[in-house]
Structure 1
Amino acid sequence: MRNPLAPISMAATLLEGIADAHPDLPKLHTVIQRQTEQMASLLDDLLDAARISSGRIVLKKKPILLSEIIERATEASQPNLQKRKQTLRLDMPAVDTMLEGDPVRLAQVFSNLLLNASKFSPDHSVISLAVKTRDDEHGDGQLSVVISDQGVGIPADVLPGIFDLFVQGPRSLARSEGGLGIGLSVVRSLVQMHGGTVAAHSDGEGRGSSFTVILPNTASTTSGNDVTPNSHGVSSARRILVIEDNVDANQTLVDFLSLQGHVVRAAYDGLSGLAMAKAEIYDAIICDIGLPGIDGFAVAREMRALSGIAGPLLVALTGYGQPEDRKRAIEAGFDELMVKPINVQSLLSLIAEYVTTE
């Protein structure tokens, strides 16, 4: 389902860089990119709902600072907030809190709630996120995160089932924003998987709403955090091989990387890719998993076994992004797995990071 989005997204990125283009092109590019991102988001919600209902989501829990989770969530929601000129007001405790959880899934919970608040709030409004440790008030070893907005509110008859699958808020707005009524159901399931609860409150239509997430607190605190910004730039041309059987996806990725100054070659099946890898030395090889003939896993294993090309960065492309998919890719010899449609800036950063540590 994701595969058609990859060439669409890449083509839109290429259109953005065309000089002396028609004056309407930037506007059209923005529309394509926005709708592609919306489709990818809807697919993510659908896939998550299906995985949760079938018990196929496994949390990768580890100790993590709450501030790191909130930072990830706010970073993901900033483009939407900025587009609507909305202000995010954070109220964080002076002492940070450590909890046991899956960083990716917890960040997903709070980014979903922030995006929901943005979607159903007017431009120039204020959205707040407040963190409170409940030890002082209740002594129950919990922490709460409350996300409040000044938006359209939730009708009283909708509120009791707001976390049910395919339930939406005000119908006209939900449709205009392209929602399916899945996000809040996913939020509730992920919170419950962490041993927590989530509740919604609204005084009615036009009076805003608030969502309160309560999570177990491991009672470990610190006065600082370990978030370290990481920024990379590609400083020189690299030799890159793209192996992708989808012609449009292959060509748009090749064109994009070429525009960044890299020397890029293309192969459209695993056997051809292996032959090219044997004939030349590459700095990075970007390989789709679902190839005809031999798949990407077999390609990676063969490449790692070939003398002389053990060093290239190997990046897997796939429409699946579950932990077991990543594990299988790493075991086959890939350095990284990226889910389609890929974030091209993340790919460039990955290439740059590999180059600097090579």
Structure 2
Amino acid sequence: MKNESNPGLQDDVRVRQAIDSVVQAVRGGGSGSEEIQSLLVLVSQLREANQNLVLAAVKAQVQRETAEARNRQQNEFLAMLAHELRNPIAPIGNAASLLEKITAAHPLLPKIQGVISRQVSHMARLIDDLLDASRITSGKVSLEKSSIAVNEVLNRALEVVRATIDQRRQQLMAEPLDTEVMVEGDLIRLSQALSNILVNASKFTPEAGEVSVSMKQQGDAIHILVRDNGIGIEPELLPHVFELFRQGPRTLARSEGGLGIGLSVAKALVEMHGGRINVHSMGRNLGSEFTIVLPVAQSGPPGTAGAEPAPLTASSACRRILLIEDNPDTGATLQLLLELSGHQVTVALDGLSGVSLAKDGSYDVVICDIGLPGLNGYGVITQIRQHLERRQPYAIAVSGYGQPEDRARAINAGFDEYLVKPVKTETVLGLIAAQDAV
């Protein structure tokens, strides 16, 4: 039986047949010259074909390696871009937090502080979406799954979108489940997916419009429905709304904002949880409906994976804090915020100076940037841990890099916690306050 799927075997058969023809011609008393010539032609054709196959294989390998190199370069560029953008955002966010503490000094300060805070949050969200899109396409997003309540997913998402809704003077109606229903998933990532859908609904709904989110259980699945009475989706765009960087028609003012990433990230995250997202719209100016469908968890109590530190705002004890930060604006504003909360703060502008100050062993907490001149944050914490054998400070790493491997490297180096810029003051104070019970 011929093996049609193996070209190499077929070529071997053709060569043997040609050789047999030469042998039979010679045995029959002929010269076999015609048969030999045919054999030589066949061998030449096979050699050329083999060379073409080798060249094609080499070309395919080069293309694969080129694509992989471009993907690595893209990921490295996006990570660096995020780092460079987060660095100036950090002191702006700190300054906004400082303004919040003195809003009584002038009637316009609350409004100014609100504008700055909202725009900092918006910028940070755009950076996160951009990085998440890159990580998802390269398969680098991992989930920390546990059994979580669907209502908690809704509450987290509402916290994120509330400022956007209020700014646009829209009405937000939320209908949580009457009973506790659990899903197996990553609380942070599922909340991110739902908040992306809600932010998109708000973005394309006029001021004073309506956005609603409701949930219901159907069999072994939870359906989360997000509706709005906004501009709707044209029929020709409807099949493409979840494509990366795909956006509908925009005005020259681009008042809606965004990069065309949020819906793509939401879809990918929901599908990673074994769910799906559907979208429906009757057309222009007729609003939109997005439905997230998630499987109900089989069993298990609520988990704590992905839980954030308690947002405590003050510590019951004054802590001596060493802040190592090479950006003077970031260091100065964070120092003021910590001192206003009752702590004593010393600032070092580079890694070597930070290690020198830390060696007296009198600090309770070390807050250290990773990207420092001379000696980076990994080297700083390594030397601190080695030198201070008895009294070890609680160490918090702060960085503009937010990849999972960055956090893992910091923890392995000796840090107790890793925070990505811009860091919320409440988060830092909560971590410090938590040490009172230690």
Q: TM-score, normalised by structure 2?
A: 0.73
Question: Quick check: 1:234 aligned with 2:315?
Answer: yes
Aligned counterparts, 1:1-358, within 5 A: 1=84, 2-18=86-102, 25-135=109-219, 141-172=220-251, 175-220=254-299, 230=310, 232=312, 233-305=314-386, 306-310=388-392, 312-355=393-436, 357-358=437-438
Is the contact made by 1:303 and 1:309 (CA closer than 8 Å) also made in structure 2? no
**Distance between the aligned counterparts of 2:105 and 2:357, measured in 1?**
36
**Distance between the aligned counterparts of 2:256 and 2:190, measured in 1?**
24
Distance apart, 1:98 and its partner CA: 1.9
SS at match of 1:215: strand
Show CA shifts across 1:129-186 (max 9, x none): 2222221xxxxx3222111112221222221211111222451398213211111111
Show CA shifts across 1:74-97 (max 9, x none): 222222223334343333333322
Show CA shifts across 1:52-92 (max 9, x none): 11221122222222222222112222222233343433333
Gap regions ≥5 residues in structure 1? 136-140
Q: TM-score, normalised by structure 1?
A: 0.88
| Percent identity for Structure 1 against Structure 2 | 49
**Distance between the aligned counterparts of 2:299 and 2:248, measured in 1?**
38
**Distance between the aligned counterparts of 1:83 and 1:353, measured in 2?**
34
1:138 paired residue number: none
Change (3 A) 1:107 1:257: same
Change (3 A) 1:205 1:297: same
SS at match of 1:178: coil
**Distance between the aligned counterparts of 1:329 and 1:205, measured in 2?**
50
**Distance between the aligned counterparts of 2:404 and 2:160, measured in 1?**
21
2:22 paired residue number: none
Show CA shifts across 1:84-115 (max 9, x none): 34343333333322222122111100111112
Is the contact made by 1:38 and 1:178 (CA closer than 8 Å) also made in structure 2? no
Deviates more, 1:100-109 or 1:4-13: 4-13
SS at match of 1:297: helix
Distance apart, 1:214 and its partner CA: 1.4
Change (3 A) 1:336 1:186: same
Distance apart, 1:280 and its partner CA: 4.5
Q: Aligned partner of 2:323: which letter?
A: V
**Distance between the aligned counterparts of 1:109 and 1:339, measured in 2?**
20
**Distance between the aligned counterparts of 2:319 and 2:297, measured in 1?**
46
SS at match of 2:291: strand
Give the aligned CA root-mean-square deviation in angstroms: 2.7
Is the contact made by 2:154 and 2:176 (CA closer than 8 Å) also made in structure 1? no
Q: Aligned partner of 1:332: which letter?
A: A
Is the contact made by 1:240 and 1:263 (CA closer than 8 Å) also made in structure 2? yes
SS at match of 1:245: coil
**Distance between the aligned counterparts of 1:131 and 1:221, measured in 2?**
21
SS at match of 1:41: helix
Q: Quick check: which one's strand share is greater?
A: 1
Larger radius of gyration: 2
Change (3 A) 1:219 1:132: farther
SS at match of 1:175: coil
Q: Quick check: which one's helix share is greater?
A: 2
Deviates more, 1:31-40 or 1:241-250: 31-40
**Distance between the aligned counterparts of 1:263 and 1:142, measured in 2?**
52
Aligned length: 350
